[in-house]
Amino acid sequence: MSQPHDDHHDDHGHQSRFIQHHYDDAQHQFDSGKLGIWFFLVQEILFFSALFVAYILYRHHHPEIYAYAHHYLDVKWGAINTAVLIVSSLSAAWAVRCAQLAQRRGLIACLVITIVCALGFLGIKTIEYSHKIHEHILWGKYFDPCVASAGNHLLNKGNNCPGVKTSVVWDGKAGKAKSGCLEGNYDQNPAEPGIQGKCEVIEVVGANRRPIEACEEVPGKSGGHGKPAKFPCYELALNPHVCPAGPAAMVLYGDHGHHGGAIEVRCDAVPAPAAPADAFADPAHVPTTGERTFAQHKAKSKHELAHEFASGPPPEHTNMFFSIYFAMTGLHGIHVLVGVFVFIWLLWRAIRGDFTPDYFGPVDYAALYWHLVDLIWIFLFPLLYLIH
Amino acid sequence: MSAAVDTNASYLTATRGWKSWAYTLDHKRIGMMYLFGILGALLLGGAFALLVRAELWSPGHTIAGKDAYNKFFTLHGAVMVFLVIIPGLPAALGNMILPIQLGAPDVAFPKLNLTSFYLWVVGALLLLVAVFTGGLDTGWTFYTPYSLQTQTAVIPAVLGAFVLGFSSIFTGLNFLVTIHKFRPKAMGWFQMPLNLWALYSTALMQVLATPVLGITLLLLFVERFMHIGIFDPNLGGDPVLFQHFFWFYSHPAVYIMIVPAMGVISEITTTFSRKPIFGYRFIAYSSIALALFSFLVWGHHMFVSGQSKLANMVFSALTFSVGIPSAIKVFNWVSTLYKGDIRLQTPMLYALSFLIMFTIGGLTGIFLAILSIDVQLHDTYFVVAHFHYVMMGSTLIAFIGALHYWWPKVTGKMYPERVARVAAIGVFIGFNLTFLPQFVMGSRGMPRRYWDYDPEFQIFHQLSTVGAFLLGLSLFGVVCYLMWSLKYGTKAPQNPWGGTTLEWDAPTPPTVFNFPEPPEIHELYNYDDLEELPEGGWVRKPSTGAKSSSGH
Ligand SMILES: [Cu+2]
């Protein structure tokens, strides 16, 4: 539309050509838009509210999964993103001021800063997301982590961790592999993994098939070959994904953390209790995996316990934490993305010179929207990243 | 755009061609397009209802199998709720009338208004996609976990309802701002027609409740699509949480349906009783009270879903309290009728039907709010009959009544009055014949949504089916003669019923910006102001001066 003399097209006197004719004047249009955006923001809050309710509910029912899972989130990235958003909120507010005072260059600068910050936020979020995708720390059905929340490696049930070539669940009673597959045929049906005999020793075998590390998990002995086990064997045994049938043995091949394509083999065998020789004598007490675990936990400080808890496999339904994490941050991210497009549109209009002290409503409304998006993140950051 | 639009011409003919409708920003044209869409959806939803009733003519297989039956009742519910009853009064008739009753040229955000309409179209198309790609068999409530497992077209249906939700939110937002910012200075809050109070309360609920449905349906969509697990017990989620979220919206949704109906009934009752409305402030405040109460009672849908006893008792008590504002309204309408000069024209016939049916629907709601009785009646035909008395017997009847009330104003044509009265009586008889037997059946234990039933229920089902077909025929007749009147109807006078609200001071049909000049604000519901013309219609007496624009 090119209507150069549109400024005085009606009896409203000299005013922006963006004042629509069903409004009395510029102020009327501005006030109406402002009330409208406020109602819209109320709507937005209610839109997010259901997710906050879900968060509260699941946290109330399963505090342990929140205590465990928040370690997965990187406070550093979360904090940087919080700062980035606060800066962008400031620049958005400043943009309104510039528009009001007809400072076109200031307005353009503020809008550019806001857009850059918003894109920065999304970039950091992408880094965080791609890390989680890489480690299978996903929502609901797809939560199948390759690492514990303290950072050490786990055997995941899908056998699809990057770098881990092979894993086997060894059935000690039956004397054969229950499920899993070996290097070379790990993507095939694991009917014949090629492991035989009872597995009592945990070995780590290098690329040249030479044992480089081992640990045994039999009473009275731990560690092996003078090297400490990378993580306690019982943790694997407790992992319901790995050992659903209880006392069994398992072997994990992989090259996690080893150079040169080394293969890691782990096994946690729980020996069957020995039959008492004398029927009248007290049977020798053989501690079960659970008891050993318990005893170790009892001896440790709260801090150590927390660390150990975070080093172990995730408690049941930890997937719900990530369902909520991805739902909330995903929906928030979509709002940020929408904000980017809105601010690019405003930038285009600002460059064109649409905004005047008489007409700057869109900048004001977009800034209000942006403050809300910022505010929601201010709630999400502590609720997801900083809880204990 | 051409500058040649004559803003003093009728909005119907000021511009021509399909584009002048498709891109229109005129609230009356948008309302008109909504109206035609909604009437189409009404026929579709009605066809599904008749399929349901036909199948229930005899126990076992009558015309369709179990799976088809499940789809019939689901699609009937989804189409009627999301496409007809929720948008019917606010988006179609509200859109046409609200700015005129305010004396405003348009709604606050005309482009947003058009966006709402196209969102409605997209939502309707998505529901149609669901109908034609395997149907839907979850019930209109989409309860988890079944809605996560069924092979039917849940995804398009859920997306459709999600989009329709935003159509509703934007309409509500538009109306709120319009009422706040476009009310003339001379019209204080308590000089607003009661219809505007009702639309305001409705808009409040649309903006505050619908987003919760939006996020719930979004989660359901993501659940089916990506197995996020929030409602899936297999993944550690909570299916009952879905019910909480769903009813947090869908109970207010019932009020989104009924409150605007109450608004138009207030207008029709006073106009056709030729008497000022009794208890104006009580009716106005009770609309707001209903809007607020509506957010506190959702748990009454879940008395048998494993809710705690305490929660059940609280929700039961709060549900009783909803009876108070509802009863206030009914008593005020009845008092308005008392010693009125009642004119039994078609809109009034619908208003009187509303009074009877809303009373039945409301009182049976109190039955269902009683915990011990609800355990008996839950998921029986008693519930079906109850909510049909409210949603159809009250809301849809009020919608049809309002349609007759404002039809002459927005189309400029009169419908055939005698045919319309016969149809109104047909609707009343057909409706009650359909649903009264369902109360009896339900109280004797006939479960809802069942395809098969014991032979002892057959007589009730057959009565109900006969009633449904009479009802369907009558409503079809209404649609037919209204369409007929567009071409052949006699020209409508400016004020055919002698109404006192501002729309009757606007030309018939209204001009592009509703009023050629800003209208004078007269005293509301003062029928002494008007005199009847011998050739039909009413005019203001020349002696009565306008209220000064400073208000009082
Ligand atoms: Cu309810």
Option in B208, B222, B230 nearest A46 (CB): B208
pLDDT band at A245 (very low <50, low <70, confident <90, very high): very low
| Average pLDDT, integer, range A215-230 | 36
pLDDT band at A148 (very low <50, low <70, confident <90, very high): confident
Option in B109, B208, B230 nearest A54 (CB): B230
Ligand 1 center to B295 CA (angstroms): 9
Which CATH architecture best describes the domain B30-549? Up-down Bundle (1.20)
Going from the N-terminus, what domains does chain A have, and what CATH number goes with each? 23-139+319-385 (1.20.120.80), 148-300 (no CATH)
Nearest CA in chain A to B2: A1
Ligand 1 center to B530 CA (angstroms): 42
Is any Cβ of chain B less than 8 angstroms from the Cβ of A77?
A: no
ipTM of the shown complex: 0.93
In tens, the pLDDT along B315-367 reads 999 999 999 999 999 999 999 999 999 999 999 999 999 999 999 999 999 99
| Average pLDDT, integer, range A90-97 | 96
Is any Cβ of chain B less than 8 angstroms from the Cβ of A47?
A: yes
pLDDT band at A257 (very low <50, low <70, confident <90, very high): very low
Nearest to B193 by CA among B172, B206, B179, B203: B179
Q: Which H or E run includes B172? A: helix B154-181
| Average pLDDT, integer, range A140-164 | 71
| Average pLDDT, integer, range A174-186 | 38
| Average pLDDT, integer, range A200-224 | 32
Is any Cβ of chain A less than 8 angstroms from the Cβ of B103?
A: no
Residue A264 pLDDT > 50: no
Is any Cβ of chain B less than 8 angstroms from the Cβ of A3?
A: no
In tens, the pLDDT along A294-335 reads 444 445 667 777 777 777 778 888 889 999 999 999 999 999
**pLDDT, position A279:** 47
pLDDT mean values, one per 10 residues, chain B (552 residues): 66 88 94 96 95 95 92 94 94 95 94 97 95 90 90 93 96 97 92 95 94 94 90 89 93 93 96 94 93 92 91 94 93 95 96 96 94 93 96 96 96 95 97 96 94 94 97 96 95 93 92 89 88 88 54 32
Contact A320 B230 (CB under 8 A): yes
Distance of residue B357 Cα from the nearest chain A Cα, in angstroms: 34
Nearest to B479 by CA among B114, B163, B35: B35
Residue A223 pLDDT > 80: no
Residue A3 pLDDT > 70: no
Ligand 1 center to B241 CA (angstroms): 16
Option in A39, A54, A141 nearest B227 (CB): A141
Q: Decide: B525 and B268 in contact? Cβ < 8 Å.
A: no
| Average pLDDT, integer, range A165-183 | 42
Option in A48, A50, A58 nearest B216 (CB): A50
Sign of CA dihedral B164, B165, B169, B175: positive
DSSP character string of B408-441: HHHHSB---HHHHHHHHHHHHHHHHHHHHHHHHH
| Average pLDDT, integer, range A331-343 | 97
pLDDT band at A15 (very low <50, low <70, confident <90, very high): low
SS3 A312: coil
Phi, psi (5° rounding) for residue A270?
A: -105, 110
**pLDDT, position A365:** 97
pLDDT band at A94 (very low <50, low <70, confident <90, very high): very high
CA distance B170 to B117: 10
- Residues of chain A contacting residue B109, judged by C-beta atoms under 8 Å apart: 32-33, 36
Most A CBs within 10 Å, among B166, B173, B176, B241, to test the A interface: B173
All residues with CB under 5 Å from ion ligand 1:
B 251
**pLDDT, position B234:** 87
Distance of residue A24 Cα from the nearest chain B Cα, in angstroms: 9
CB burial of residue B153 (10 Å; 0-12, 13-18, 19+) = buried
- Residues of chain A contacting residue B514, judged by C-beta atoms under 8 Å apart: none
Residues forming a β-bridge with B538: B532
Distance of residue A35 Cα from the nearest chain B Cα, in angstroms: 6
**pLDDT, position A71:** 85
Contact B108 A140 (CB under 8 A): no
Nearest CA in chain A to B26: A22
Nearest CA in chain A to B228: A140
**pLDDT, position A65:** 87
In tens, the pLDDT along A267-296 reads 343 333 344 444 454 555 555 544 444 444
Question: Percentage of residues in chain A with pLDDT exceeding 90?
Answer: 39
Nearest CA in chain B to A22: B105
Higher pLDDT among residues A306 and A336, named by residue? A336
**pLDDT, position A11:** 44
Contact B173 A39 (CB under 8 A): yes
Q: Among A52-66, A113-127, A251-265, B439-453, name the one with the lowest average pLDDT.
A: A251-265
Contact A22 B238 (CB under 8 A): no
Option in B105, B176, B226 nearest A139 (CB): B226
Ligand 1 center to B249 CA (angstroms): 9
Option in B212, B226, B513 nearest A50 (CB): B212
Distance of residue B179 Cα from the nearest chain A Cα, in angstroms: 10
**How many other C-beta atoms lie within 10 A of the C-beta of residue A299?**
9
* CA B159 vs CA A65, A226, B130, B154, B163: distances in Å: 31, 61, 10, 8, 6
Nearest to B112 by CA among B173, B47, B32: B173
**pLDDT, position A19:** 82
Question: Percentage of residues in chain B with pLDDT exceeding 90?
Answer: 83
Ligand 1 center to B252 CA (angstroms): 7
Mean pLDDT, chain A, whole residue set = 70
Distance of residue A174 Cα from the nearest chain B Cα, in angstroms: 30
CA distance A153 to B256: 54
Q: Whose structure tokens read 């019923």?
A: B497
* CA A3 vs CA A158, A187, B4, B306: distances in Å: 64, 68, 15, 65
Phi, psi (5° rounding) for residue A13?
A: 80, -165
pTM: 0.84
Residue A237 pLDDT > 70: no
Distance of residue B214 Cα from the nearest chain A Cα, in angstroms: 7
**pLDDT, position A293:** 46
